[in-house]
């Protein structure tokens, strides 16, 4: 029967070479089928093979190495014959990850009564030292503290049978390469070595070549989460001059309204500045610093979980090891140093098939870095225009209008009660409306409300830039009135009859003009994208030529589009809403 045939394809834990004590724990945890990485890694690892695995958090990689390690422990060292020296060592980049892994190993190894000890920096060494002295089967450690305990003679690696490097790329990024090599060199030649990494930069390959023997290689894309659903991460980039990054971020986040986001910044100073800007916009943002103790970090994460905070602003280092399942957005205030770092960051969303959003603010000089990410992941990153001040004002008014309407409907329903509510609001208004126009009174009330709720006026112009031609500045003035300003001297303005609603972006216009006329990207000046039209400045002397070449129209975003001289009737406020 078809159904049965299909079921034969689905791997089962009971087909894996794992003993009942382990299968029982897995079943109790509710795992129904091995995830792809588990299906591919467990059997060769139980056989004793070395393994090089490319897999991110969320793929089930912890069980993929922990279950075989426990199986081999049971095979080689039955409980009664266990000594003091550890059988297995797992190295992890951070305390948080080490604790998580240790918790998982302890849980999976419950039926086997495996003794698991976690050692990590930033905590007193004494208790960890004593725990190791009492006899241990599996040590989960961060590299620095492992070296420390090795040097003190507390961590014995001479009887080790298996070593796992978890998130090896992170460990190398954190500068642990020497520690890792020292630790690996201290293990017996006969031990099994397993290396897991979310990305495979050359340095990882070199490490693998040096320490792994004929490894089985397993590569799991993020999509292969245990639940079997592909995670969806919408990746959007906003092109802005570096000097306007923070202002643009405020606008993007206000428009996007994430439920729970991490905003990554390059430096601690940036973290503080960004937190301040976002807070001033009325967004609930909190800084997460590397120097915070564990308890403080836990509290901050708890506030995010409970919805009391919506944004955590952090550096990569401060956010290391944070594992927040409910995260909806990863926001890059700065383009990460490498494509691998980008992939790591966005790996925090879109888990278990949930939707996730990755937002990156990109200065023109870094567009190539985003293209490199696209090549690495094979997934497109969309460039979108930063919401204009007018867009945000319109959205805010819309929200106010919805709230007022709801309130009015409620009040009407309970009008009798309201008459008698005795709060004096109506009486106060009666006084004001005797003196002023009621609409003016209401308008003033709405403005006061906006001030009270911290709505910014977004007076700062955020210039529209294009990837090819570098930064360009809009003429001074408020965003919403862009179309009414005269073009810069020596330039003329062209009117394009397609805009944001057709998905037109500055780079599309640059592309069309540069492809179909004699203009090069450098000649093209400020570009303003409005809802249904766009304005672009070009040198006056080139205008006739350009218009001649474009006489038959051009194609933008797959749509026939006309370009002509702007006659100045593109007015402020046209098509403000997205």
Please report, as ranges, the residues that interact with ligand AMP according to CB under 6 A: 31, 34-35, 38, 57-63, 226
Specify the DSSP class assigned to residue 199: S
Please, are residues 100 and 167 in contact by the beta-carbon 8 Å criterion? no
Which lies closer to ligand AMP via its Cβ, residue 215 or residue 321? Answer: 321
- What does the alpha-carbon distance between residue 147 and residue 432 come to, in Å, rounded to a whole number? 75
* Beta carbon of residue 106, minimum distance to ligand AMP (angstroms, whole number): 13
Which lies closer to ligand AMP via its Cβ, residue 62 or residue 192? Answer: 62
* Beta carbon of residue 62, minimum distance to ligand AMP (angstroms, whole number): 3
* Beta carbon of residue 97, minimum distance to ligand AMP (angstroms, whole number): 9
* Beta carbon of residue 11, minimum distance to ligand AMP (angstroms, whole number): 9
Task: For the chain, report the end-to-end CA distance as a whole number of angstroms.
Answer: 52
Would you call 153 exposed, middle or buried from its count of C-beta atoms within 10 A (0-12, 13-18, 19+)?
Answer: exposed
Closest by CA to 146, choosing from 129, 161, 158, is 129
Please, are residues 253 and 357 in contact by the beta-carbon 8 Å criterion? no
- What does the alpha-carbon distance between residue 167 and residue 536 come to, in Å, rounded to a whole number? 47
Output the CA angle 85-86-91, nearest 5 degrees: 140
* Beta carbon of residue 217, minimum distance to ligand AMP (angstroms, whole number): 18
Which lies closer to ligand AMP via its Cβ, residue 33 or residue 308? Answer: 33
Which lies closer to ligand AMP via its Cβ, residue 65 or residue 342? Answer: 65
Token representation of residue 28: 């109790």
Which lies closer to ligand AMP via its Cβ, residue 63 or residue 570? Answer: 63
Which lies closer to ligand AMP via its Cβ, residue 301 or residue 394? Answer: 301
* Beta carbon of residue 38, minimum distance to ligand AMP (angstroms, whole number): 6
Token representation of residue 35: 């995830």
Would you call 558 exposed, middle or buried from its count of C-beta atoms within 10 A (0-12, 13-18, 19+)?
Answer: exposed
* Beta carbon of residue 141, minimum distance to ligand AMP (angstroms, whole number): 17
Which lies closer to ligand AMP via its Cβ, residue 62 or residue 275? Answer: 62
* Beta carbon of residue 91, minimum distance to ligand AMP (angstroms, whole number): 15
Which lies closer to ligand AMP via its Cβ, residue 35 or residue 275? Answer: 35
Token representation of residue 523: 């000649």
- What does the alpha-carbon distance between residue 164 and residue 174 come to, in Å, rounded to a whole number? 17
Residues 6+ apart with CB under 8 A from 426: 418, 419
Would you call 554 exposed, middle or buried from its count of C-beta atoms within 10 A (0-12, 13-18, 19+)?
Answer: buried
């Amino acid at each position: 029967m078809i159904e049965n045939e299909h079921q034969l394809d689905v791997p089962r834990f009971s087909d894996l070479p794992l003993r009942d004590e382990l299968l029982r724990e897995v079943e109790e945890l509710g795992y129904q089928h091995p995830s792809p990485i588990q299906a591919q890694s467990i059997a060769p690892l139980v056989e004793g093979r070395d393994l090089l695995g490319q897999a991110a958090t969320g793929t089930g990689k912890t069980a993929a190495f922990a279950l075989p390690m426990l199986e081999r422990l049971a095979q080689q060292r039955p409980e009664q014959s266990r000594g003091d020296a550890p059988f297995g060592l797992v190295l992890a980049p951070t305390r948080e990850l080490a604790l998580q892994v240790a918790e998982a190993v302890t849980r999976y190894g419950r039926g086997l009564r495996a003794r698991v000890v976690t050692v990590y920096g930033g905590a007193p060494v004494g208790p960890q030292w004593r725990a190791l002295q009492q006899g241990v089967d599996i040590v989960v450690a961060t590299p620095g503290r492992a070296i420390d305990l090795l040097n003190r003679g507390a961590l014995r690696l001479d009887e080790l049978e298996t070593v796992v490097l978890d998130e090896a790329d992170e460990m190398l990024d954190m500068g642990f390469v020497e520690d890792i090599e020292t630790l690996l060199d201290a293990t017996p030649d006969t031990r099994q070595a397993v290396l897991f990494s979310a990305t495979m930069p050359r340095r990882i390959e070199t490490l693998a070549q040096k320490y792994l023997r004929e490894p089985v290689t397993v590569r799991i894309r993020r999509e292969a989460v245990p639940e079997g659903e592909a995670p969806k991460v919408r990746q959007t980039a906003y092109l802005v001059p570096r000097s306007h990054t923070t202002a643009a971020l405020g606008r993007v986040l206000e428009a996007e309204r994430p439920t729970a986001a991490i905003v990554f910044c390059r430096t601690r100073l940036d973290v503080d500045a960004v937190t301040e800007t976002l807070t001033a916009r009325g967004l609930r943002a909190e800084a997460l610093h590397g120097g915070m103790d564990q308890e403080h970090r836990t509290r901050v994460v708890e506030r995010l979980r409970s919805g009391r905070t919506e944004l955590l602003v952090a550096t990569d280092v401060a956010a290391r090891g944070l594992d927040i399942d409910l995260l909806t957005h990863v926001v890059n205030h700065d383009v990460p140093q490498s494509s691998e770092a980008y992939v790591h960051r966005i790996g925090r969303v879109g888990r278990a098939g949930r939707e996730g959003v990755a937002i990156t603010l990109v200065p023109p000089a870094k567009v190539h870095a985003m293209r490199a990410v696209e090549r690495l992941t094979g997934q497109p990153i969309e460039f979108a225009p930063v919401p204009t001040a007018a867009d945000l004002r319109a959205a805010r008014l819309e929200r106010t209008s919805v709230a007022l309407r709801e309130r009015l409907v409620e009040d009407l329903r309970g009008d009798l009660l309201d008459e008698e509510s005795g709060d004096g609001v109506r009486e106060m208004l009666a006084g004001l409306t005797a003196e002023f126009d009621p609409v003016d009174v209401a308008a003033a009330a709405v403005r006061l409300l906006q001030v009270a709720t911290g709505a910014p006026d977004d007076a700062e112009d955020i210039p529209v830039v294009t990837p090819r031609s570098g930064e360009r500045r809009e003429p001074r003035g408020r965003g919403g009135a862009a179309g009414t300003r005269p073009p810069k001297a020596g330039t003329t303005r062209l009117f394009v009859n397609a805009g944001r609603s057709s998905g037109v972006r500055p780079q599309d216009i640059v592309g069309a003009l540069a492809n179909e006329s004699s203009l090069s990207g450098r000649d093209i000046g400020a570009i303003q994208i409005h809802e249904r039209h766009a304005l672009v400045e070009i040198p006056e002397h080139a205008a006739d030529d350009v218009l001649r070449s474009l006489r038959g129209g051009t194609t933008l975003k797959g749509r026939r589009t006309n370009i002509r001289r702007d006659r100045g009737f593109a007015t402020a406020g046209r098509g403000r809403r997205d």
